[in-house]
Amino acid sequence: MAILTVNAGSSSLKFSIYPTQQGSVLPSILSGSFEGLEPGGKTELRYTYEGVQHAEYFEDVDQDPFIAALMHLKELLLEIKGLPPIRAVSHRIVHGGSEFFQPVVSTDAILEKLWAMSALAPLHQPHSLDGVKAFSQVFPGIPQVLCFDTAFHKTMSPLETSLALPKEITDQGVRRYGFHGISYQYIIGELLESSSRSRDRVLMAHLGNGASLCAAIDGKSIATTMGFSALDGLMMGTRSGSLDAGVLMYLVERGYTHDQLQDLLYRKSGLLGVSTISADMRKLKSDPNPLAKEAIELFIYKIMREGGAMIACLGGLDLISFSGGIGEHDPDLRSSVCKKFEWLGIELDEALNQAATKELTLKISTPQSAVEVWVVPTDEGVMTAQEALNLLHF
């Protein structure tokens, strides 16, 4: 049997198939993505099977592009001989609110509750839920399992989740939730298998287009930089991170609408906004424009500033890990961040740091370092597959 994991975006869909055996998820045997899922557009399907990469294109004339993509996916799964049967589809859902802290099998009643939370994650929640609906239509009779990015942070204390707002507002669910939880759940699992310090004071850095930090003790989240929304905390690819609310009032007074503010904070800020060039760290590192350097330096500074707060919540630090597209692939950034925390006794092994690859969980600190430093390639897909398997007891 196998679990199909999916992550739906506004115009894209990522998927992987994980075989299962005796209650465990095995490495993915097929993975890929659809890009360009827009009405009237040309959709690109890229996938890898048995180490071979494939690409094809198709146009949708009379069908919803998302439904058309899933029909192509269904045909592909039938064409490839030897694939184990799909017993469940597991979805990453960004926001579970104050109610959903464990994976659940999708029902109409649950989806209705999750739709009501769309304002809490406007760039992610609607597309994820559209994906659940589409998969239910194209793969009828197969359980749709929902895994929540907020669930890992359920162990945070009321002090960490509370906002200093009137009770009539916080009673509506306005509080700090935290995100990237599926990634952090995978990362801490890898660390628990790899390091004797992983149950002590751990700081996990998920650094990509979306970026956050999570402080954990005994493998449980006690604090994180993202809060009520995925805008809080670190500067990101196109998101602002923490921002004085007075800035928003200033912009409203000058005529900014809700939609303009949303576009500004989610799509036009962060590395892109500061550099005016790109949200891609690789492009910024190769660009001689001083604004590119400024954006990178600010990104690192924000990690130091927010990281200091997380370390204070922990009462010290025993281990720091790097994950995500930037955290896994950029040794120079890892080195720069570690230098900001040299006062903690961090000592990086630069040869190991440069040699770290996205396939391998690796300690990159020296034996003398007071704080262990790890690179942990995250895998949200295998985590959601395992959650689905645990829930359905196949």
128 and 212 assigned to the same domain? no
Average pLDDT over residues 370-377: 98
Let me know whether 31 and 137 are in one domain. Answer: yes
Does residue 255 share a domain with residue 302?
yes
114 and 27 both lie in a single domain? yes
C-alpha gyration radius of the chain: 21
The verdict on residue 295 lying in a domain is: yes
What is the structure's pLDDT at 342?
97
According to the model, what pLDDT value does residue 37 have?
A: 83
Whether residue 185 is contained in a domain is answered as no
pLDDT on residue 61: 58
Whether residue 13 has pLDDT greater than 80: yes
- 48 lies in which domain range? 2-172
The amino acid present at 332, given as its one-letter code, is D
Residues 224 and 369 in one domain: yes
Distance (Å) of CA 346 to CA 198, 296, 319, 349, 368: 16, 22, 9, 10, 9
* pLDDT value of position 59: 76
The answer on pLDDT for 12 being more than 80 is yes
Half-sphere exposure in the Cβ direction for 78 (13 Å, CA): 7
Q: Would you state the pLDDT for residue 60?
A: 65
Both 365 and 314 in one domain: the answer is yes
Among 139, 172, 205, which residue terminates a domain?
Answer: 172
Average pLDDT, the chain: 94
Q: Are residues 162 and 33 in the same domain?
A: yes
* Higher-scoring residue by pLDDT: 353, 119: 353
**387 within a domain of the structure (yes/no):** no
Mean pLDDT for 7-31 is: 91
- The pairing of beta strand 319-323 with beta strand 372-375: parallel
Identify the three-state secondary structure at position 394. coil
The candidate with the shortest Cα–Cα distance to 321, out of 210, 229, 159, 183, is: 183
- The C-alpha angle 329, 13, 28, rounded to 5 degrees, equals 60
User: Domain for residue 386, yes or no?
Assistant: no
Measured between alpha carbons, how far is 18 from 26 in angstroms, rounded to an integer? 6
Examine the domain organization and report whether 25 and 133 are in the same domain.
yes
Kindly report, residue by residue over 259-292, the tens digit of the pLDDT. 999 999 999 999 999 999 999 999 999 999 999 9
Query: 48 falls in which pLDDT band (50, 70, 90)?
Result: very high
- Mean of the pLDDT values across residues 30-48? 87
Residue 180 included in any domain:
no
Residue type, 346: I
Q: Is 206 annotated as a binding residue?
A: yes
The answer on whether 325 is annotated among ligand-binding residues is yes
The CA distances from residue 363 to 125, 208, 216, in Å, are 35, 20, 18
213: Cα separation from own chain's centroid: 11
Report the CATH number at residue 25.
3.30.420.40
Do 228 and 137 fall within a single domain?
no
pTM score: 0.94
Ordered alpha helix ranges (H), 17-145 = 65-79, 108-115, 125-138
Is 353 part of any known ligand binding site? no
Residues 215-259 have pLDDT tens digits of 999 999 999 999 999 999 999 999 999 999 999 999 999 999 999
CB 204 within 8 A of CB 225: no
Q: Do the annotations mark residue 329 as ligand-binding?
A: yes
Give the separation between CA 27 and CA 34, rounded to whole angstroms.
21
Do 110 and 104 meet the contact criterion of CB atoms below 8 Å apart?
yes
Q: What does the pLDDT look like over 126-173, one tens digit per residue?
A: 989 999 999 999 999 999 999 999 999 999 999 999 999 999 999 989
The Cα 227–Cα 179 span in angstroms is 8
- Given a cut of 90, whether residue 124 has pLDDT beyond it is no
Whether 60 is catalytic: no
* pLDDT score at 10: 76
Domains contained in the chain, number: 2
pLDDT at 291: 98
65 and 127 fall within a common domain: yes
pLDDT at site 292: 98
- The response to whether 297 counts as a known ligand-binding position is no
> Does 326 count as an annotated binding residue?
yes
Tens digit of each residue's pLDDT (9 = 90 or more) over 98-123: 899 999 999 999 999 999 988 888 88
First-residue to last-residue Cα distance in the chain? 8
Residue 181 lies in a domain: no
390 has binding-site annotation? no
Residue type, position 209, single letter:
N
Check: CB of residue 60 under 8 Å from CB of residue 70.
no
Both 221 and 92 in one domain: the answer is no
Whether residue 179 lies inside any domain: the answer is no
226 known member of a binding site: no
Residue of 64, 108, 130, 149 marked catalytic:
149
* pLDDT exceeds cutoff 90 at 210: yes
Instruction: Kindly state whether residue 326 falls inside one of the protein's structural domains.
Output: yes
Q: Contact, 4 vs 86, CB < 8 A?
A: yes
Q: Look at residue 242 in the predicted model and tell me its pLDDT.
A: 97
pLDDT above 90: residue 196: yes
Residues 209 and 339 in one domain: yes
Q: Report the share of the chain in percent with pLDDT over 90.
A: 86
pLDDT digits (tens, 9 = 90+) for 284-324: 999 999 999 999 999 999 999 999 999 999 999 999 999 99
Annotated binding residue 92: yes
